Structure 1
Amino acid sequence: MSLFNRMGTVVKAKMNKLVNRMEDPRETLDYSYEKQLEMLQNVKRGVADVTTSKKRLQLQRSKLQQSIDKLDSQAKDAIKADREDLARMALERKGSLTMQVEGLDTQIADLEKEQEKLVAAEKRLSTKVEVFRTRKETIKAQYSAAEAQVKISESVSGIGEEMADVGMAIDRAENKTEEMQARASALDELIDTGTLDDLSSRGDDIDRELAKMRTKSSVNEELARLREEVEK
């Protein structure tokens, strides 16, 4: 069980890390704002329903009141006509309707209280939603700015690393160039001193000896010419 618990903890930790990496705070804020708007709409719908119910009861009460007024008038007419029985009947019906009106008044009063509560809740929630919206947009702007700054910093860091690699490549190229130049100079020196035969020159050993003799003869001739000029 201990091993399974550890494995479960590791999996949860990795999943949490993955979720954190994938989560965009701006999307979370927008989602929360949408849910609050839904709550606000539900409260407004509740206010509308309660108001509608109250209006319906008020209309019903108005009709009952009209009937009561009519029965009251009928009772008076019956009394004038010396019809107490009709007057009694009208008053009995009036009493029944009056009780219904009183019941409606109670319901209407309850709905008015509920309406007041919902209207107050709607105002409070509207204020909170607006405050959240302003805060949400501020946080989103700050997050976007921070995200842009991170991307710029990462780009600059990447350029720095790339330039460092380029610098190292240049150093290696310069070192190789210096080595090649030194090697070329050494080979030239060896060729000049005769230590290393110039492979680019043609001919064998006899040709080279003859060339040396011609060079020596040319030098002797030049020396003889110079002596004649000096003696003159």
Structure 2
Amino acid sequence: MSSNTSRMRDIFRIKTSRALDRMEDPREALDDSYDQQVRMLQQVRQGLAEVATARKRIELQGQEMGARYQRLAQQAQEALTQGREDLARKALERRSLLEGQVAALRDQHAMLERQQAQLQENERRLTERLEAFRVEKETMKASYTASQAQARANEVAAGISTQMNDAGASLNRAKDKIAQMQARASATEELLASGALNDLTAPADSDLERQLAAGAAKADVERQLQSMKDAAAAGSRDGAGSNPNDPDSWKSIGQGSSAP
């Protein structure tokens, strides 16, 4: 009874432990952490793409301003050639205003270049860290899986050992019962043979018949012994008329003379 209770307690503990392992599987925690870092890296790359796009837009705008700046210089020169100082002055005024806009655009472009460089460095470091974490994560997951498999194998082996112990105990009990039954059968057989124990299923007066048969067998042995002694004294051997080499000699056993 106690062994069954202990086995049930062990089974319940193992099942509970497995349920907790499924709820707190470190492999899932590692994968979740890795996914979070992947999302962070995606956000950094998205920001890097946005900054690079803004920088490129400023570069295109700066190229347009540069082309206009050159065109205004040409227009001012052409106005002077035509004697139109007023147009030349207007072109130079616009050119001067454009210089201020280009200066502001240049500062903004430099700022975006610094931001892009910083984001590129962050992206490089995060990528390296993420790759290192991925390798370590897969290694830890493999180690956990191997340890889990070994633990389950050990649990199965422990269960087999317990069952084998129970089977061995059952086998020993069976052997003891068989030995007891054999001893009991032998004892009752001896009692029946001696007449101390009556066989209720035997015919009436069977004990007398058994004793008479035993006395007759004993008398027959004594008679055969005396016959052998007489034959030895007469210097002859009584073969009961049988030839030992005769293949049918067995048929005369128990008939006529019983001398050997």
Give the distance between the partners of 1:131 and 1:29, measured in 2 at CA: 13
Give the distance between the partners of 1:225 and 1:57, measured in 2 at CA: 139
Residue type at the aligned position of 1:90? A
Give the distance between the partners of 1:166 and 1:182, measured in 2 at CA: 24
Change (3 A) 1:116 1:197: same
Is 2:228 aligned against 1:204?
Answer: no
Change (3 A) 1:27 1:228: closer
Change (3 A) 1:200 1:101: same
- Report 1:50-69 matches (<5 A): 50-69=51-70
Matching residue of 2:110: 109
Change (3 A) 1:59 1:229: closer
| Alpha-carbon distance, 1:76 to partner | 0.9
| Alpha-carbon distance, 1:196 to partner | 0.5
TM-score between both structures, scaled by the size of structure 2 = 0.75
Matching residue of 1:31: 32
Matching residue of 1:177: 178
Residue type at the aligned position of 1:204? A
**Backbone CA RMSD of aligned residues:** 2.1
Change (3 A) 1:210 1:190: closer
Indicate the structure (1 or 2) with the bigger Cα radius of gyration.
Answer: 2
1:40-77 Cα deviation digits (max 9, x unpaired) = 11111111110011101110111111111101111111
Change (3 A) 1:134 1:229: closer
Residue type at the aligned position of 1:186? A
Give the distance between the partners of 1:106 and 1:28, measured in 2 at CA: 46
Count residues with an aligned counterpart.
213
Change (3 A) 1:33 1:213: closer
Is 2:128 aligned against 1:131?
Answer: no
Give the distance between the partners of 2:95 and 2:150, measured in 1 at CA: 80
TM-score between both structures, scaled by the size of structure 1 = 0.84
Residue type at the aligned position of 1:66? A
Give the distance between the partners of 2:168 and 2:158, measured in 1 at CA: 15
Structure 1: gaps of 5 or more residues: 1-17
Give the distance between the partners of 1:159 and 1:231, measured in 2 at CA: 74
Change (3 A) 1:181 1:100: same
2:195·2:207 contact (CA, 8 Å) conserved in 1? no
Give the distance between the partners of 2:89 and 2:77, measured in 1 at CA: 10
Residue type at the aligned position of 2:204? D
| SS of residue in 2 equivalent to 1:108 | helix
Task: Give the % identical residues.
Answer: 41
1:180-200 Cα deviation digits (max 9, x unpaired) = 011111101111111002344
Matching residue of 1:41: 42
Change (3 A) 1:109 1:228: closer
| SS of residue in 1 equivalent to 2:198 | coil
Residue type at the aligned position of 2:134? R
Matching residue of 2:157: 156
* Structure with higher RCO (Cα < 8 A, 6+ apart): 1
Higher share in helix: 1
Give the distance between the partners of 1:128 and 1:109, measured in 2 at CA: 29
Give the distance between the partners of 1:69 and 1:225, measured in 2 at CA: 155
Residue type at the aligned position of 2:208? E
